[in-house]
Amino acid sequence: MKVARISPARTIEVAHIEEPEVSHDTVKVRVERCGICGTDLVARTSSNPRWAVDSVLGHEIVGTVADVGEGVSGWKAGDRVALYHGSPCGQCEMCTSGRDYLCLDHLDSALGHGVAQGGYAEHIVVGPNLLHRIPDGLSFDQAGIAEPLAIAFHGVNKSDAKAGDAICILGAGPIGAMTAAALKARGVADIAFVDPNPARRALVEKSGYRAVDLAAVRDGDVAALGERRPTAIFECTGHVEAAGLAVELIAYNGRIVLQGVPKAPVLISQYSVVQKEVEIVGSASCTQEEMEEAIGHLAAGRVRAEDIVTAVVPLEEVDAMFDALLDPAGEQLKVLIAPNMTQV
């Protein structure tokens, strides 16, 4: 079958590998869409041995059940599914404490993370525990953001944000945009973005959100954000200066949710954190229940994938699309790969 994988030159190349087949208690899925995640962008050129040459990336997967192995019940060929990103080990401290989404060994089973094959491929074989049914009427382009949308809902859950709160999102990229959509689906409407990219600001403004340039708030000035200091801030950039900026912008007793992953330690004013009694929480991954919630909001039209997905491309265009997504001035937001699409 055809895949897009990491080449020896650390590009994404198209290749043909052996077709995977079902075994006992597994399901073969024809991949209809697979989202490009920021983790994938880093993996392409990473020196981490986990991202070895020939790794097939991709964990934001939706598709059609193609075959069902012996011992699998409840699923049949033709079922439309969204995939959770991996199976917890069931034995580590996080798994036994009821937080299996933070499994300490999750990378060993995570799809497209260097061990298990990912969704940049025509087919993938997974356990049925990863499958979530896609409701009728929801297209693959719409369902294609289910997994990252669940990540966004997890961040919203960590924020305790509620209707009437003033919200600031640092970064109008995919997770920032989906965080805003998740907040809006929950009835939180006072949302302002901060992003230096005018193209991305324009995209979120089309969805009805306020968006300002980084220069408007760089010195801690909140006037451009609205009438109130934000009571919750979501850091969705991973920039080393973003957490410090969030501390300066946040209201007293506010909560900051860190979703970005900087490449270096960050500097914040502990004085400001103490004086404002700021709460800072991290947000990683999502639960299976949040996957179901994300799919439900998409099916009900409370989240519009059409406002977030800006391109759908075949495997042959993945490497070039990586470059486009890494461009600080780029115009793409969320890009889906269609592995079974014929290149035009």
Mean pLDDT, 10 residues at a time, over the chain (344 residues)? 97 97 96 97 93 96 97 97 94 94 87 93 97 97 98 97 97 97 97 96 95 90 89 97 97 97 94 98 96 97 96 97 95 97 68
Determine the pLDDT at residue 114. 85
The residues, any chain, with a CB within 8 Å of residue 301's CB and separated by 6 or more, are none
Task: Check: CB of residue 255 under 8 Å from CB of residue 231.
Answer: yes
Rounded to two decimals, the pTM is 0.95
Q: Which residue's entry shows tokens 């050129």?
A: 45
Cα gap 311→337, rounded to integer Å:
8
Asked if residues 303 and 292 have their Cβ atoms less than 8 Å apart, the reply is: no
Q: Find out whether 229 and 249 touch, Cβ atoms under 8 Å.
A: yes
Output the pLDDT for position 295. Answer: 98
Q: Which domains occur in the chain, in start order?
A: 2-145+308-337 (3.90.180.10), 152-282 (3.40.50.720)
Look at the block and give the residue holding tokens 């034995």.
Answer: 91
Alpha carbons 246 and 87: distance in angstroms, whole number: 34
Token representation of residue 143: 């369902």
What is the C-alpha to C-alpha distance for residues 115 and 50, in angstroms, rounded to an integer? 8
- The encoded tokens of residue 177 equal 């945009």
- SS3 percent helix, strand, coil of the chain, rounded to 5, is 30, 20, 45
